[in-house]
Amino acid sequence: MKVICLAAAACLALAACSSPTARNQQTADSTQTATDKNASLRKTIDSIVTQTDGKVGVAILHLGSRDTLTLNDTAHFPMQSTFKFPIAMAVLKQVDEGKLKLDQEVPIGKNWMATKYHSPLRDSLAKVKAAGKPTIATMLSYMVSLSDNVACDVLLELIGGEPVANDFIHGLGVNNIAIVASEIKMGKAWDVQFTNWCQPSAYTQLLDILDKGTALSKASNDFLLKIMFETTTGPGRIRGLLPKELQVAHKTGTSGVNPDGLAAATNDVGIIVLPSGQKLAIAVFVSLSHADEATREKVIAQITKAAYDHALSTGN
């Protein structure tokens, strides 16, 4: 059965009534500081997004100069696994509060071992034919670096569920984000993924908070940055066209493809450490696209490379 939620249908209706260029053109919700300086970057991004028939959301924030550029920033984009970054922040906050410990072992029961969704952690335990008790630190690493779904849902349950994570992030002043459904819930029906949404600049806000270290203890903040630097998923996205030696702390998110060939989400968010030591936060969401995965990832890579080149050209 083909299932599309009202939110998805509304987005599809928008997509159907215009060309790729029109859907992604600069609108009233797109913001830009240092206008003259960023005009060439905006023009480049406007050209890149025509490669996909979907809607593309972009937020770029230079963490030093504070120069900002966004595209389609009032739209609600399905986050998919990018939400594991804010969930990790919520878990680490409870570590800082003494409610949890990084070396605390958490049983992975048979119910989690029976799941079918992406989980290198479950697969590693299955090889030894036993339920395990990985530490919270291990599960955080699996969840962020390898985008493990079992680790995500176990940790989410451990901290008290989606409302706890959602309220914590809103308490940081990042309001344009909704963490409503776990990975297992998203896997039950196509439309559920759209209940976990964000505006692109919510992620550059969160990345800015992470860079400043204002939400977590230094130890927790450093740990989260470490596992984001160790991310191996989506090498063709933010990392795709950047010099290999650059440090990039990022988190990807990817949906499935429905019977009509529609991909709901191909996302990547992260911090790029520039050669100067300055940092660039970037979030790119490619939503509701019939383009193949290689094209969707190329859009993210090209936007990132354009932002990187622009930062270098402006002395950053």
Q: Is residue 107 in some structural domain?
A: yes
pLDDT band, residue 20 (cuts 50/70/90)? low
In a domain, 1, yes or no: no
Q: Which of 182, 183, 220, 287 is catalytic?
A: 183
Q: What is the CATH classification number for the domain harbouring 61?
A: 3.40.710.10
Half-sphere exposure of 200 (CA within 13 A, CB side): 31
Mean pLDDT of the chain: 89
Residue 35 pLDDT: 52
How confident is the model at residue 3, as a pLDDT? 34
Catalytic choice (81, 119, 220, 287): 81
Task: Pick the range with the lowest mean pLDDT from 113-117, 157-161, 212-216, 234-238.
Answer: 113-117
- pLDDT at 204 > cutoff 50: yes
In a domain, 278, yes or no: yes
Q: Which domain holds residue 187?
A: 6-11+18-313
Report, as an integer, the average pLDDT of 208-236: 98
What pTM was computed for the model?
0.89
| Tokens coding 95 | 């570590």
Of 56-60, 123-127, 257-261, minimum mean pLDDT range: 123-127
Classify the C-alpha dihedral 44-63-173-96 as positive or negative: positive
Percent of the chain with pLDDT over 90: 79
Residue 183 catalytic? yes
Kindly state whether residue 292 falls inside one of the protein's structural domains: yes
pLDDT at 124: 86
Say what the pLDDT of residue 10 is.
Answer: 40
Determine the pLDDT at residue 123: 86
Structural domains counted in the chain: 1
User: Given a cut of 70, is residue 148 above it in pLDDT?
Assistant: yes
pLDDT at position 251, please?
Answer: 98
Helix ranges (DSSP H) in the chain? 6-16, 20-24, 35-48, 84-96, 110-113, 120-127, 136-145, 149-159, 162-171, 183-186, 200-212, 218-229, 293-313
What is the C-alpha radius of gyration for the chain, rounded to an integer number of angstroms?
Answer: 19
Confidence at residue 13, expressed as pLDDT on a 0 to 100 scale: 39
Percent of the chain scoring above 70 in pLDDT = 87
Which positions ≥6 away from 298 have C-beta within 8 Å? 51, 236, 240
The yes-or-no verdict on residue 12 having pLDDT over 60 is: no
Query: Is residue 178 a part of any domain in this protein?
Result: yes
Q: Under 8 Å CB-to-CB from 231, ≥6 apart: which residues?
A: 144, 145, 147, 249, 250, 251, 252, 270
| Residue 47 counted as domain residue | yes
pLDDT at residue 255 tops 50: yes
pLDDT in tens, 111-141: 887 788 899 998 888 765 555 789 999 999 9
Structure tokens at 262: 């529609």
